């Protein structure tokens, strides 16, 4: 592999970027599906990899790398889904004091 900087071919990026953005949208877990898929490692890795492609096409390799590392983390089980913020202690109704 050469040490050339990462940049998309100029003749492909005008077509590739909208396609990658559409793919990323399709792979994004919606708020309606979040509880069902929050721990689905394949779905979470696909979501992050899709976003990484968009960042690469926008010539933002640092952002792409962060998303790819997240995707790898889902696949190698080094990361897990955080608890749902709406089920945490801070969102429960305070107990009344008598």
Buried b (16+ CB within 10 A) or exposed e, 5-30: eeeeeeeebeebbeebbebbeebebe
Confidence bin at 5 (pLDDT 50/70/90)? low
Per-residue model confidence (pLDDT) at position 67: 98
> Which of 2-6, 64-68, 82-86, 92-96 has the lowest average pLDDT?
92-96
One-character DSSP codes across 44-95: HHHHHHHHHHHHHHTT-HHHHHHHHHHHHHHHTTS--PPPPGGGSGGGSPPP
Per-residue model confidence (pLDDT) at position 91: 45
Asked whether residue 94 carries a pLDDT value surpassing 90, the answer given is no
Per-residue model confidence (pLDDT) at position 76: 98
pTM of the model: 0.74
Residues 39-89: pLDDT tens digits? 999 999 999 999 999 999 999 999 999 999 999 999 999 999 887 767 655
Asked whether residue 37 carries a pLDDT value surpassing 70, the answer given is yes
Task: Match 């990361």 to its residue by tokens.
Answer: 79
Per-residue model confidence (pLDDT) at position 80: 93
């Amino acid at each position: 592999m050469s040490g050339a900087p990462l940049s998309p071919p100029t003749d492909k990026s005008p077509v590739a970027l909208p396609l990658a953005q559409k793919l990323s949208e399709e792979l994004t877990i919606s708020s309606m599906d979040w509880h069902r898929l929050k721990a689905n490692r394949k779905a979470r890795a696909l979501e992050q990899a899709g976003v990484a492609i968009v960042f690469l096409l926008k010539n933002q390799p640092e952002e792409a790398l962060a998303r790819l590392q997240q995707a790898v983390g889902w696949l190698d089980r080094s990361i897990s889904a955080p608890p749902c913020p709406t089920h945490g202690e801070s969102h429960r109704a305070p107990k009344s004091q008598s």
